[in-house]
Amino acid sequence: MMSISEAATQSGLPAKTIRYYESIGLVYPPQRGSNGYRRYDQGTVRILQFIRRARGLGFSVEECRNLLSLYQDKNRASAEVKRLTKQRVVDINNKIAELTAMRTTLTQLIDRCQGGQRPDCPILEDLAQSNLPPP
């Protein structure tokens, strides 16, 4: 058994994040010692490491909840795990396309701006234009 600071060090998560995960039911609250302090076991640390890795790969908290449930279910079908992971890749590809379009637009704006001492600036002019449809 270990303290929250030891669990934080071993899992790579801040203690505040561990407490948050407990508060939303992602991790079960640990046993408390006679002094009232949380006491974590190695199994909980492994779960925290699992969550840290999944979050690092961009899975949402709810997706982590689903993955964790599947991880703990020894009778699971891996098809659901694969489906969730494939959806994550689709989301990443969409984000890459969005970021690429943003980079292209910003690069074009940079190329149009002289960047001198004159007040006219195509970047600011572009930002001031509303390209959104009216509400």
One-character DSSP codes across 39-58? EB-HHHHHHHHHHHHHHHTT
66 in the same domain as 43 = yes
Is the per-residue pLDDT at 91 higher than 60? yes
Question: What's the structural domain count of the chain?
Answer: 2
Mean of the pLDDT values across residues 16-33?
Answer: 87
Q: List the CATH number of the domain containing 43.
A: 1.10.1660.10
pLDDT > 70? residue 40: yes
End-to-end CA distance of the chain: 57
Checking if the pLDDT of 29 tops 80, the result is no
Segment 119-135, tens digit of pLDDT: 888 888 888 886 666 55
Residues 40 and 83 in one domain: no
Instruction: Based on the fold, state whether residues 72 and 112 are members of the same structural domain.
Output: no
Give me the count of residues in the chain: 135
DSSP 8-state assignment for residue 32: E
Same domain, 35 and 82: no
Is 134 part of any domain? no
Domain that holds residue 83: 77-129
Same domain for 72 and 12:
yes
User: Is 53 a domain residue?
Assistant: yes
104-113 pLDDT, tens digit per residue, is 989 999 998 8
Residues 106 and 68 in one domain: no
59 and 95 within one domain: no
